[in-house]
């Protein structure tokens, strides 16, 4: 069985997230999605996240695409997850191109084209202007 892993905040889950989850899933037989904890996001400077971790996990769950959902809580966890869970492929959006090449020591690394014209930031801005 080919296991794929991808990570993200998945705040106010939108079409861009759905596309990447679908395409990541197509790379194998079993998709693991790592959702960032609220603490991890604030530590990595991701501010303005609207939904709590539980709400973001629920959003990912509702897509029906994740075979397993885990929480990403610390820097360096990706290597631990890949080894612990026997992951074959790490997939992430092209906005991260090159940033995760170091994981190729542990599994295949694939950058998937980011969906243009949609982002959590844009959705937040639209909401604020309603
Ligand atoms: N994404 C996309 N198209 C968009 C928006 C996002 O393909 N229009 C992808 C991102 O490239 C990422 C995933 O959706 O692969 C989740 O995006 P975010 O929720 O913004 O999470 P991010 O900060 O990219 O977390 O450890 C965390 C990860 O390293 C990445």
- Average pLDDT in the chain: 95
User: Which runs of E-coded beta strand occur in the chain?
Assistant: 3-8, 30-36, 68-72, 89-93, 108-112
CA gap 5, 92 in Å, rounded: 9
Mutate which of 12, 17, 46, 76 for ligand 1 pocket (most atoms within 8 A of beta carbon): 17
Percentage of the chain modeled with pLDDT above 70 = 97
Please write the tens of the pLDDT for every residue from 16-64: 999 999 999 999 999 999 999 999 999 999 989 999 999 999 999 999 9
Give the Å distance between the CA of 115 and the centre of ligand 1. 10
Measured by CA distance, the residue closest to atom 24 of ligand 1 is 8
**Nearest-CA neighbor of 36 among 24, 52, 16?**
52
CA gap 51, 10 in Å, rounded: 9
pTM listed for this prediction: 0.95
Complex confidence, ipTM: 0.97
CA gap 19, 93 in Å, rounded: 10
CA gap 9, 46 in Å, rounded: 9
Q: What is the pLDDT of residue 65?
A: 98
List, chain by chain if needed, residues with CB within 6 Å of any ligand 1 atom.
7-11, 16-17, 20, 36, 72, 92-93, 95, 114-115, 118-119
């Amino acid at each position: 069985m080919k296991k794929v892993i991808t990570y993200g905040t998945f705040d106010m889950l939108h079409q861009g997230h759905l596309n990447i989850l679908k395409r990541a899933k197509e790379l194998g037989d079993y998709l693991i999605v790592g959702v960032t904890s609220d603490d991890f996001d604030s530590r990595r400077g991701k501010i303005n996240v609207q939904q709590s971790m539980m709400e973001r996990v629920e959003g990912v769950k509702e897509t029906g695409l994740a075979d397993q959902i885990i929480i990403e809580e610390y820097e360096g966890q990706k290597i631990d997850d890949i080894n612990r869970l026997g992951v074959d492929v790490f997939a992430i959006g092209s906005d991260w191109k090159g940033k995760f090449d170091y994981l190729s020591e542990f599994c295949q690394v694939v950058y998937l084209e980011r969906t243009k014209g949609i982002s959590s930031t844009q959705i937040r801005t639209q909401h604020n202007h309603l």
